[in-house]
Structure 1
Amino acid sequence: MKQNYDSDEKTALQAKYDAQKIAFGPIMFQAAKALRDLGILELIKSRRKEGITMDEIASQLNLSVYGVKVLLEAGLSLEMVRVEDDKYILTKTGWYILSDELTRVNMDFVHDVNYLGMFSLTESIKTGKPTGLKVFGEWETIYEGLSQLPEHVQKSWFAFDHFYSDYAFPEILPKVLGNGVKRVLDVGGNTGKFAMICCRFNPDINVTILDHPGQLEKAYVNARAAGFADRISGVAINLLDHSKPFPKGPDVIWMSQFLDCFSQEDILQLLLRAKASLEGTGGSLYIMETYWDRQKFEASTYSLHATSLYFTNMANGCSQMYHSEDMLKLIERAGLYVAEEIDDIGVSHTLFKCKVKNN
């Protein structure tokens, strides 16, 4: 679905109201999260037919009437609750904040990973550095410190990362791992989730993960626990060191939600290294990403534009959720071509199957 970004048809009154939503957005975000986390939305949901009064909510949750009052009034403006005869009822928006897995994953990711650091976004724009990351530690990128982040931050980061891929993997496995594939190179394989899915899918497949040493240690633990220690191996590598070649000769190189973690200059170098690994093999590079211009729903595009700012301020200071044309141009420059492309995979992914030119 093509989004309309070339018109401005709001009335002045609507535009001013929307501007106030932006101005108070961080405060209202916390109100929405408090309504969820304190159990207020759940309690209102349990009384969905008759509704529930403010005093009843305060009494049952052992909260002050004042505290419940200010949150519920914020909830009215957020359109998460409505009120009839002094009784509060959950709206559709309130239901999504409370019960929708996608919304919960996104909200936890914003709060736990991004919220404190995002105060320095302007500095990141000026410097090209992830200045918000300093709230957690002194690393150049979040990937170096991922295994050292506070436990609840890691939990929210991985939940965000895995949610989108988990829905996509079942759709693409037969296509990626069919036709006699035996050797898979999982670039940026994190904790080995995709590697283990490959091993379950086909007992003849062996997977090599390329990632930071800290992530590989977690992947090894997970592989042993799943009984795949003999089929999952790893190469500890700084993927930004472009002097380090990828292992030669895989049938498949897999890059899922990976290239969005890098600048365009680094993506080009990574693609060149993938090409060198595949030359003479007839193998394929599969790139699975969420491109903001290929989304069916406006909410998806909005979420991806916001996620780009996580990369700017928290992750590395130089990457984003790309427009598909950005990636296609880089693939062409690397001496590869897209043999096949599939949109609308899982929640919001596109899969590019790339081959070496003249291979």
Structure 2
Amino acid sequence: MDHDNDLVAAVTVDSAESALFLRFASASNVDDTLFEQIDADIARLAGDYVSKPVSELFHDIGTLRRGVFDLLRGRQHPFQTSHLYLQAGRLCGLATHVALDLGQYKAASTHSRTAWRCAESAGHNGLRAWIRSVQSLIAYWQQDHRQAAELARAGLPYADGGTIAARLLSLEARATAALGDSASALRAVEAAEAERGTVAAMDFPGVFTFPEAKQWTYAGTALLALGGHRHVNRAIEASSRAIALYESAPQQEQSSGDLLAARLDLANAHLAHDDLDAVREKLSVVLNAAPDRRTASISTRLRALSTRLAEPAYAGSPVVLSLRENVREACSRPALTNSPEPPQ
């Protein structure tokens, strides 16, 4: 099997056809209008992914992804192939994010490898760098922090503009902080801030860009992991800034996942300062969030907080006991955990 057909074979068309897929299936070849429509559809899905529940998006992502791979079965002119691979790579990247948010790390890894091969075929450094950032995320949430740091660093040589360097450095900071490497973490936080000041080129929209609010969310997590009074105070400042920036942004740019993550980091930071009223305030928003807003990473953070609240140091506190029960109850609620779009 040649390289192109090998990639196409990674995606099998099922019977769940939609009007969008039928449009692809009836196309005899690729023209400029179809290219423009695919790009617009990917941009829309990437933008919607920031603020809409995953459950509202994965069907359209899967449908469009299958359609693009179907076009790669030889319906394109040779000069169009690299752009189709770029489109396929971005859609596989979105599929990776779906699986990641659902906690399906094996499926996420599979999608990311297909996305990488598409980026290689397209010769697109920006997509290469972005895929390494998502692979770093997969490793991080599998608790392989060393691999997460290495993957973030591996993406930097491909960072050729936009916000991707700041994203990769922020991921490196968070991973090295989890390893207890304070020097590397602080250096990466500072380098990410420096990169933010040099951003000029535009990114592809939605989840393919790295807004300043998200950067402060990651910085807050990294600083909190380092511990110590000074770092915890800096974490409070970073997470608070992330929330303020997101809440002042247009609704469609407000990442519900990052807002919940920042509030959970603030709850943990205030717990370190024994400010239980502040802990309860920050947790209230998280505990009342709809299940379809609670990604796998938020559930992981909640379980970690539940474990922390059960530590002997808080055994005599009725406030902490109440908080622990509330967190346990939230963790027991059903959440969206299965995707109808597994890798083939």
- TM-score scaled by structure 2? 0.31
Q: Which has the larger radius of gyration?
A: 1
Please identify which structure carries the higher strand content: 1
- TM-score scaled by structure 1? 0.30
